Amino acid sequence: MVKFKINDQEVEAQPGWTVLETARHYGIHIPTLCYHEAVEPSGACRLCVVELKDGDWSKVVISCMYPVQEGLNVYTDSERVTNVRRWILEMLISECPASEEIRALAKEYGVNTTRFAEKDPEGQCILCGLCVRVCAEVVGADAITTVGRGVHKAIGAPYMVPADACVACGSCLTVCPTGAMAARIDKVRGEPKVKLLRSGR
């Protein structure tokens, strides 16, 4: 077992666990958006930051991808962590001002406005890719992907053609942390199989 501390509490982790996995094992809350235990982490949202301290030295890392090590001193809610999370939430609000989920999360950190320019007032997607990973790794359908580049990057069906590969399981809707997939599901899936079954075709 790997022994270290989270918020000055002694913890033990299996080799290969991440800091986030260990924190969850001990019921210590770290906010996440792009993480789901069913798929590989991607480190896309950065919200799960924690601070590692050693004397006067410290650094901020993302806990969902940081492997546990003997003797770490991890702080999940230090002043530095809170400041970084507030900054990240300001950026997320500017990216997806229409997401009630993001606004509610930001409010928990006292963030109600953003210094960054809003790109699209209707924006809800933070491009975390969780829906894509669940569709590929859990469902095995590969019905959605990241399309476009740079400012045109978006989540959609390959070549933006509604995908027959979609089995209308709703997994992408369930895991989406911002409500964005609910607004775009009809553009992603083709004719839902469940409708075909009901119509007897």
Interface residue list for ligand SF4 (CB under 6 A): 125-131, 155, 176, 178, 180-181
**What interhelical angle do 100-108 and 79-95 show, nearest 10?**
160
Residue 199 host element (H or E): helix 193-199
**In angstroms, rounded to a whole number, what is the distance separating the alpha carbons of residues 67 and 18?**
4
- What does the angle CA 58 – CA 16 – CA 145 come to, to the nearest 5 degrees? 90
Quick note: the x/- pattern for ligand FES over 48-77, rule CB under 6 A, is x-------------x-x-------------
- Which one of ligand FES, ligand SF4, none interacts with residue 39, CB within 5 to 8 A by kind? none
Q: Binding to ligand FES by residue 32, rule CB under 6 A?
A: yes
Rounded to a whole number of angstroms, the minimum distance from the CB of residue 192 to ligand SF4 is 18
Residue closest to 49 by CA, chosen among 9, 14, 87, 17? 87
Number of residues that bind ligand FES (CB under 6 A): 12
Residue 141 makes CB contacts below 8 A (sequence gap 6+) with 135, 163, 165, 166, 167, 169
Among residues 11 and 128, whose Cβ is nearest to ligand SF4?
128
The CA–CA distances, whole Å, from 22 to 14, 25, 122 equal 8, 5, 37
Among residues 141 and 181, whose Cβ is nearest to ligand SF4?
181
Rounded to a whole number of angstroms, the minimum distance from the CB of residue 41 to ligand FES is 6
- Which one of ligand FES, ligand SF4, none interacts with residue 169, CB within 5 to 8 A by kind? none
Q: Binding to ligand FES by residue 35, rule CB under 6 A?
A: yes
**In angstroms, rounded to a whole number, what is the distance separating the alpha carbons of residues 95 and 97?**
6
Rounded to a whole number of angstroms, the minimum distance from the CB of residue 7 to ligand SF4 is 29
- Which one of ligand FES, ligand SF4, none interacts with residue 106, CB within 5 to 8 A by kind? none
Q: Binding to ligand FES by residue 89, rule CB under 6 A?
A: no
Eight-class DSSP state of 61: E
Residue closest to 127 by CA, chosen among 65, 200, 20, 34? 34
Q: Which residues bind ligand FES (CB under 6 A)?
A: 32-35, 43-48, 62, 64
